Amino acid sequence: MLSAFLAVLRRDLLLAWRGRADVLVTLAFFVIVVCLFPFGVGAETNLLRTIAPGVLWVAALLACLLSLHRLFAQDHGDGTLEQLLLSSEPAVLWVTAKVLAFWLTTGLPVVAVAPVLGMLLDLEQGAYPVLVISLALGTPILALLGAVGAALTLGLRGGGMLLALLVLPLFVPVLIFGAGAVEAELSGTGATAHLLLLGGGLAGALALAPWACAAALRVSTE
Amino acid sequence: MLEAHDLACLKGDRLLFRGLALRLQAGGLLRVAGPNGVGKTSLLRLVTGLALPETGEVRWRGVGIRRDREALHRELLYLGHAPALNDLLTPLENLRFACAAAGDDADEQSCVTALARIGLENQLDLPARVLSQGQRRRVGLARLFLSARRPLWVLDEPFTALDAAAVAELATTLSDHCDAGGMVMLTTHQDAPFARAPEVLDVGGYAC
């Protein structure tokens, strides 16, 4: 039952390792976007400290969006996707494996680097755990929702822009609760409610998005 | 075993063919013929369930494949026009992945044997991007040796880019599969040296 899941996970991680330049580009994009803000809004520490949670979250979201089109494009082009759709194992499993591999190679590095960039923006000490937890809960939601969009726009001309238009509105709630969690922690009201909502969102996305994604892939390859 | 009746295929807003019927029994070898663009590949995709027909139904062992897609996919081996190879992986990694993804158990040794049998023993560790077209095609075809227990083989232009010796060998493999009670449905423009002449389905006869 799990052979397709493990095969896809192992292969996608291996491919990410062989094509690690792509992974590094995503990470570099995240770092550069965050670094642009001090140049744009000025090096006023108080201001940077205030906008830090939002900046980090928006940059993480854009970094995720930037690499989403890669998720199925290669497999669609070389015929692997057709073979996967003909697998006798449920499509939901290997779709989940692909999204998991995608998150491990784009989301997780972003989560790991975010605290360092938080220091750059002089984020307050106490907010780091919440920042990491909120990103760790939120970026998988972005990957899952984004995967549905990537599957729907597969093979379309100008699919990249369409993908952005399609998924960015869906990312808004994640952004609100993600950045909100850090701000709530800073303001002293506690981030528990925000983090619980993000966790609930992740559970919901994990339960529903692979199904939607598999259905969308069937439609796109037809 | 594999039956279809009254199939119509819509591509974009153009009807490619309609009223197409086919029947493939155990041991049958069916060659789908017709000029370019008549809908041969589309017909194969309808039969595999990758695409849905506009009208009509494909049945596998008497059950419509829309109702039970898994039953067909457990017993189907489809090799499409694209060889499903990732350029960053070696032929061995590609083949092992293809088998595992399909749900076949194939250990490393049997994959190496299959690749050696199809003439790629020296290319096992090269990335697929340095392979020639014919060699890429062969990596895909190596699955035939590992999926012999799947009775229905649907092959889209399997002879393309192969040299004469490989064509003859592949024809023998396909004939053997049919003799063992399997079914083969394929498209080709070449006259392959099959042991016995395949049935021919001319899609051009149903064109709109």
The pLDDT, as a whole number, for residue A188 is: 87
Using CB atoms, pick whichever of A77, A94, A222 lies closest to residue B101. Answer: A94
Task: State the pLDDT at residue A126.
Answer: 87
Cα dihedral value B165, B171, B173, B176, nearest 10: -140
Is residue B47 within 8 Å of B154, Cβ to Cβ? yes
Lowest mean pLDDT among A55-69, A134-148, B33-47, B187-201: B187-201
Residues 6+ apart with CB under 8 A from A47: A41
Using the beta-carbon criterion (under 8 Å), do B48 and A14 form an inter-chain contact? no
Q: How many Cβ contacts (< 8 angstroms) between chains A and B?
A: 79
- Closest chain A residue to B9 measured between Cα atoms? A222
- CB atoms A82 and B50 under 8 Å: yes
- Judged by DSSP in three states, B72 sits in helix
pLDDT tops 80 at residue B93:
yes
Closest CA to B9 of B46, B35, B36, B37: B46
Residue B197 binned pLDDT confidence (cut-offs 50, 70, 90): confident
CA distance A222 to chain B (A): 5
B76 touches chain A (CB under 8 A): yes
pLDDT in tens, B53-89: 999 999 999 899 988 888 999 999 999 988 889 999 9
pLDDT exceeds cutoff 80 at A1: no
Report percent pLDDT > 70 for chain B.
100
The beta-strand segments (E) located in chain B are 2-11, 14-24, 29-33, 55-60, 63-64, 76-79, 152-156, 183-187, 199-202
The answer, yes or no, to whether residue B30 has pLDDT greater than 80, is yes
Q: Inform me whether the pLDDT recorded for B37 exceeds 80.
A: yes
Task: Please report, rounded to a whole number, the percentage of residues in chain A having pLDDT higher than 70.
Answer: 100
Closest CA to B201 of B93, B56, B87, B43: B43
Distance from CA of A21 to the nearest CA of B (A): 13
Q: Phi-psi category of B193—alpha, beta or left, where left has phi over 0 and alpha has psi -120 to 50?
A: beta
With beta carbons less than 8 A apart as the criterion, state whether B194 and B171 touch.
Answer: yes
What's the one-letter identity of residue A79?
G
Residue B6 and residue B56 in contact, taking contact as beta carbons nearer than 8 Å: yes
Mean pLDDT of A11-39: 94
According to the per-residue pLDDT averaged within each range, which of A203-207, B20-24, B26-30, B204-208 is highest?
A203-207
Q: What is the pLDDT of residue B105?
A: 79
Structure tokens that stand for A24 in this block: 């590094």
Chain-chain contact of B102 with A222 (C-beta, under 8 angstroms): no
Contact between B191 and B164 under an 8 Å Cβ cutoff? The reply is no
Residue partners of B61: CB distance under 8 A and separation at least 6: B1, B71
Using a 10 angstrom Cβ sphere, with 0-12 exposed, 13-18 middle and 19 or more buried, the burial of residue B206 is buried
HSE-CB at A14 with a 13 A cutoff on CA atoms is 15
Count Cβ atoms within 10 A of the Cβ of residue B102 and give its class: 0-12 exposed, 13-18 middle, 19 or more buried.
buried
Q: What average pLDDT does this structure show over A176-194?
A: 92
For residues B194-200, give the mean pLDDT. 85
State the distance between the two ends of chain A, measured CA to CA, in whole angstroms. Answer: 25
Structural domain that includes position A30 = 3-221
Dist CA B65 CA B86 (whole Å): 29
Mean pLDDT for A24-47 is: 92
Architecture of the domain spanning B1-75+152-208: 3-Layer(aba) Sandwich (3.40)
More confident residue, B104 or B45: B45
**Residue B168: HSE in the Cβ half-sphere, 13 Å Cα cutoff:** 2
Show the tokens assigned to B29. Answer: 């070898």
Residue-level pLDDT at A97: 96
Domain total of chain A: 1
pLDDT tier at A9, thresholds 50, 70, 90: very high
DSSP letter assigned to residue A25: H
Nearest CA in chain A to B97: A7
Identify the closest residue of chain A to B150 by CA–CA distance.
Answer: A88
CB-based contact A11 B78, cutoff 8 Å: no
pLDDT of residue A14: 96
Q: Do B86 and A80 touch (CB under 8 A)?
A: yes
Q: What is the mean pLDDT of chain B?
A: 90
Residue A180 pLDDT exceeds 80: yes
What ranges do the domains of chain B cover? 1-75+152-208, 86-150
In the three-class reduction of DSSP (H, G, I as helix; E, B as strand; rest coil), residue A124 is classed as: coil
Hey, is the C-beta of B49 within 8 angstroms of any chain A C-beta? yes
Which residues are registered as beta bridge partners of B200? Answer: B31
pLDDT of residue B29: 92
What is the per-residue pLDDT for B130? 92
Mean pLDDT of chain A: 93
- E strand or H helix that includes residue B83: none
* DSSP H or E segment with residue B103: none
What's the pLDDT score for residue B207?
86
Q: What is the pLDDT of residues B135-179, one digit of tens each?
A: 999 999 999 999 888 999 999 999 988 888 889 989 999 999 999
Q: Which positions in chain B touch A78 (Cβ < 8 Å)?
A: 82-87
Encoded tokens for A98: 């692909």
Mutate to test the interface with A, among B97, B105, B131, B137 (most CBs of A within 10 A): B97
Mean pLDDT in residue range A181-193? 91
Task: Spell out which residues of chain A touch residue B73, defining contact as CB-CB under 8 Å.
Answer: 86-88
Residue listed under structure tokens 């291996």: A14
- Whose tokens are 């013929």? That residue is B33
